[in-house]
Structure 1
């Protein structure tokens, strides 16, 4: 018989039955009468379980409780009530603040144009990071649009691929490429609902595309009130280019009373600038959609005046530059430095008077307003400023600085002053926007709305002659930097400030602000409209 044949578990101590420790104890099964839990191993096992339970309790209960009571309050990271989704400001985790850290130290402050006030840099973008994407949601400050700018009959389609950053610059590239039934593709960026400012000084350093003497390209840098989104016609319908806070005929369609009230004023019916094209009427605007005349309880972003009436709201426009090249070989190019206005003066003539319009004797201007003063959809206060030949991509490639300083409101010192380089070019004072009895309108303020920034490179015969025979593509506008300054004691940055809120109104009409195919507010959907009604106007008897 082999060794261990009768002792099956001699080599298996786990299953080897001990006659004492494993004796049967009735219905309770086997019982080790000599065992105890008070051993080193038992204590270690229990201790491990206690530590594990404590760790889990700390992770899922203790840590959140301690964080709630001891965390520091989240700052707005310089956001100052920026519009959009982030309650603490438009800033994603790990993304820089409003002032670009690449901005040179000497550019962090500047003096106001009158030399009396120190101004603080509140926003800058130096574009030093190459390869940035501006598709929706990719950038905290800029969004490149994907649309046709039909309102000015552009020949190009704007798409995000038309804008990027390279060599420390934002580059807009206009190419001849069929897309969306158009022959050209380019780019437009907006800071709409991401970065806005009210008052201050904005300056851009850029190189214009093409040549100074080949006409057709339309590079622009400009600003608009946040309640209107450029390229989204439903949002600008009845808001652009109004800057108005009065309840009078200036808020009504065509700036005239309805026929049931006798019509008029006569000047609004007869002083149009283009009678052969549009007839004698001064204005074709549909009326101010969000006016001071709005009936109580209607759809309006607010706020209210002390008398209970709504504050008149709109989407005014101030242009840094809109550039056009010369038509003849050897001719100089120009930039229009302008403001678009509504309601309109009689015959589109600004109110005259001391400090209404000031020219600074620059050899770049002719010390007179642009002969083009608007048409039936806007009044334009503009001066043409001659550019140097070397500030274009193909004829020198030098970067030039363009900007404007403005103080919003009705005060005697409220103004917009445009600059090229270190030189002031011209000043539009609040006096130029004073009441005009001939058309029965009240004073218009230098724009009070929070303004966002737009930059684009377009192509349209609505702005200038397009010399297709001499133009060549691709054409590029390059922006070296964008900087915004405000008085140190008057910082007002944000797209949803308490005195001019926009956030809730934009959210209520989300589709209008995100669907560029909706071109009007009131037209039916089948015709590309929002199929909405303008709020009632008490002057029109709607209340």
Structure 2
């Protein structure tokens, strides 16, 4: 077995070879042997040895010996020039040396400098780096801080719903374009002329087009609307109101009434409102509606209506002594039964025939102008007895929860059953015999051929000013399913106050405020058209209190569909919010929050165990 040469002897042999090569004559060209072919005998599994060598070998057929000419040609490719060692010195300059010089910029030109202090490239690099740093800071520091101070907290208290405390009049900023004016409202609807004075323009202040399908209205789901979960016992309804009955579909709000056992009742319907979230004082509210069921089957009670924010529909304790008062005087009109010891006599006769002719069973106006002036002055109680404000003479402004109805739909019971809407307002205290001053000047019916005064004018709990108007008989779910525009426009207060109702996009009738003037027979003063911030309510239910209910013929399930709802006000009379300066509500509602959030409290005194403030007219101060 032979050993490899010693490393030192190997290096000497190579050095001797180079020196011998360099000492040769410049004309002498040494030759090198062709490279060995270590893979010449490797055979592809798909190719024969002979074909592989003949086709793929770069050496012109490695399976045969090279001829003398081929050997010469091949050796010439590997011949080195005699002075090739000259190119291996650092002093030898080649054409591409400039690309590999590491000297600082300018040194090769004899200039000693490290580069420009400022350059466009430097500025761009620095700017990009700055932007990246700022973006990261904004994302991980700025955004959480901004979100903390601008986001709105979700709770299930009606006064503090998704979007913030709407009861204060704030406008919530919502994702999914929940703005106070729906972005889907067409620009052509941003203004419209007043129905009473077409020369005056009104501007859109609120709208909901219901174009986003699948909305729900459980507490906390929506910034403006909330569905209730209760039995509307006040009118002995046959159904349970459940939030599951209300959604949006195909560009409509849809309220479903169906034969479905819910909470021990045989039917399930729905009611929702903007209570303590969106309110308005004065203006015009309209809705485009397709009515449920058929135009000739009685029993359904679809309605869109409004109420003062100090009373919450369905929450009895909040309504006792509040609904349906609209009064700002201190007299017998503020007391229980609208009388003291049988005086005035007119309050004891010609009233509700089903209750011995008595005019009123109301408990009195809880927050009247007669409230003791020092009612809020006892810090030991820690209670806000009256929400305020006060008049210049120190008396409280009379506060309440009035009601104005856009419509309540019904089917008339004449020879030919016909679809109708009752458009009304409810009042307290009451006129003698519930007869208001409905002269032709104060009660203006636009088309007597389709509109007549309602035969129902009042009872022991309310006085009604109402006109019944035939509807478009095609605009029912079970007929053609078309839509009709309903609404009302009103100016609050006493002087020049009015309410004008609209049915099928036409004026149906107008009530002028003078019709609610003082009534000497019952010793009451004038009642104003509601000055309270009003919220909107929509519902679909049934009740024998409202009229006959033909259960076998109602084609359950039935649906009230609302295409949109919009509110307009005059540019110089805009008043939006549930806590306006002149008629605050939020502090009082917060003080007595349970009355406004617990539907099982049916009365203020009995269930909620609160008291009415002292009344100066009764000598209680």
TM-score class normalised by the smaller sequence: 0.7 to 0.9
Q: Secondary structure at the match of 1:325?
A: strand
User: How far did residue 186 of structure 1 move?
Assistant: 0.9
Which residue of the partner structure matches residue 531 of structure 1?
609
Contact 1:354 1:431 in 2 (8 A): no
Q: Secondary structure at the match of 2:348?
A: helix
Distance between the aligned counterparts of 1:487 and 1:83, measured in 2? 27
Which residue of the partner structure matches residue 434 of structure 2?
348
Answer yes or no: is 1:332 the counterpart of 2:415: no
Which residue of the partner structure matches residue 409 of structure 1?
493
User: How far did residue 471 of structure 1 move?
Assistant: 1.2
User: Unpaired runs of 5+ in structure 1?
Assistant: 1-54, 77-81, 524-528
Which residue of the partner structure matches residue 36 of structure 1?
none
Which residue of the partner structure matches residue 285 of structure 1?
362
Contact 2:171 2:180 in 1 (8 A): no
TM-score normalised by the chain length of structure 1: 0.82
Contact 1:74 1:88 in 2 (8 A): no
Between structure 1 and structure 2, the one with the greater Rg is: 2
Which residue of the partner structure matches residue 426 of structure 1?
509
Distance between the aligned counterparts of 1:329 and 1:184, measured in 2? 29
Which residue of the partner structure matches residue 471 of structure 1?
554
Supply the RMSD in Å over aligned alpha carbons.
Answer: 2.4
Which residue of the partner structure matches residue 126 of structure 1?
209
Which residue of the partner structure matches residue 294 of structure 2?
211
Which residue of the partner structure matches residue 619 of structure 2?
541
Distance between the aligned counterparts of 2:310 and 2:190, measured in 1? 29
User: How far did residue 329 of structure 1 move?
Assistant: 8.5
Distance between the aligned counterparts of 1:93 and 1:150, measured in 2? 34
Render the CA deviation track for 1:80-108: whole Å, top value 9, x for unaligned.
xx964536724144343210000011100
The change in CA–CA distance for 1:75 and 1:470 in structure 2 (over 3 A counts) is closer
Which residue of the partner structure matches residue 106 of structure 1?
188
Which residue of the partner structure matches residue 240 of structure 2?
157
User: How far did residue 144 of structure 1 move?
Assistant: 0.5
Which residue of the partner structure matches residue 323 of structure 1?
409
Which residue of the partner structure matches residue 380 of structure 1?
464
Distance between the aligned counterparts of 2:604 and 2:284, measured in 1? 33
Distance between the aligned counterparts of 1:308 and 1:245, measured in 2? 13
317-326 or 335-344, which deviates more: 317-326
User: How far did residue 327 of structure 1 move?
Assistant: 4.2
Distance between the aligned counterparts of 1:474 and 1:93, measured in 2? 33
User: How far did residue 202 of structure 1 move?
Assistant: 0.5
User: How far did residue 420 of structure 1 move?
Assistant: 1.5
User: Unpaired runs of 5+ in structure 2?
Assistant: 1-132, 153-157, 376-384
User: How far did residue 464 of structure 1 move?
Assistant: 1.2
User: How far did residue 304 of structure 1 move?
Assistant: 0.4
90-99 or 514-523, which deviates more: 90-99
User: How far did residue 59 of structure 1 move?
Assistant: 6.6
Which residue of the partner structure matches residue 357 of structure 1?
443
Contact 1:214 1:327 in 2 (8 A): no
Match of 2:284 among 193, 201, 204: 201
Answer yes or no: is 1:273 the counterpart of 2:273: no
Answer yes or no: is 1:89 the counterpart of 2:175: no
User: How far did residue 466 of structure 1 move?
Assistant: 0.5
Match of 2:218 among 124, 127, 135: 135
User: How far did residue 472 of structure 1 move?
Assistant: 2.0
Contact 1:213 1:328 in 2 (8 A): no
Match of 2:539 among 448, 456, 480: 456
Distance between the aligned counterparts of 2:234 and 2:185, measured in 1? 36
Distance between the aligned counterparts of 1:88 and 1:348, measured in 2? 36
Which residue of the partner structure matches residue 294 of structure 1?
371
Distance between the aligned counterparts of 1:429 and 1:539, measured in 2? 29
The change in CA–CA distance for 1:362 and 1:486 in structure 2 (over 3 A counts) is farther
Distance between the aligned counterparts of 2:442 and 2:185, measured in 1? 36
User: How far did residue 116 of structure 1 move?
Assistant: 2.2
Distance between the aligned counterparts of 1:458 and 1:498, measured in 2? 35
Q: Secondary structure at the match of 2:501?
A: strand
User: How far did residue 296 of structure 1 move?
Assistant: 2.2
User: How far did residue 361 of structure 1 move?
Assistant: 2.5
Q: Secondary structure at the match of 1:489?
A: helix
User: How far did residue 363 of structure 1 move?
Assistant: 3.4
Contact 1:212 1:326 in 2 (8 A): no
User: How far did residue 330 of structure 1 move?
Assistant: 4.8
Q: Secondary structure at the match of 2:365?
A: coil
Contact 1:214 1:328 in 2 (8 A): no
User: How far did residue 357 of structure 1 move?
Assistant: 1.2
Contact 1:198 1:450 in 2 (8 A): yes
Match of 2:326 among 230, 234, 243: 243
| Aligned length in residues | 464
The change in CA–CA distance for 1:192 and 1:122 in structure 2 (over 3 A counts) is same
Select the structure that is richer in helix: 2
Distance between the aligned counterparts of 1:149 and 1:88, measured in 2? 28
Render the CA deviation track for 1:185-238: whole Å, top value 9, x for unaligned.
011110000100000000011111000110000000000000000000000100
Contact 1:119 1:486 in 2 (8 A): yes
Q: Secondary structure at the match of 1:177?
A: coil
TM-score normalised by the chain length of structure 2: 0.72
Q: Secondary structure at the match of 1:187?
A: strand
Answer yes or no: is 1:314 the counterpart of 2:400: yes
Distance between the aligned counterparts of 1:74 and 1:311, measured in 2? 35
User: How far did residue 501 of structure 1 move?
Assistant: 0.2
Distance between the aligned counterparts of 1:247 and 1:345, measured in 2? 16
Distance between the aligned counterparts of 1:362 and 1:249, measured in 2? 37
Distance between the aligned counterparts of 2:264 and 2:213, measured in 1? 31
User: How far did residue 462 of structure 1 move?
Assistant: 0.6
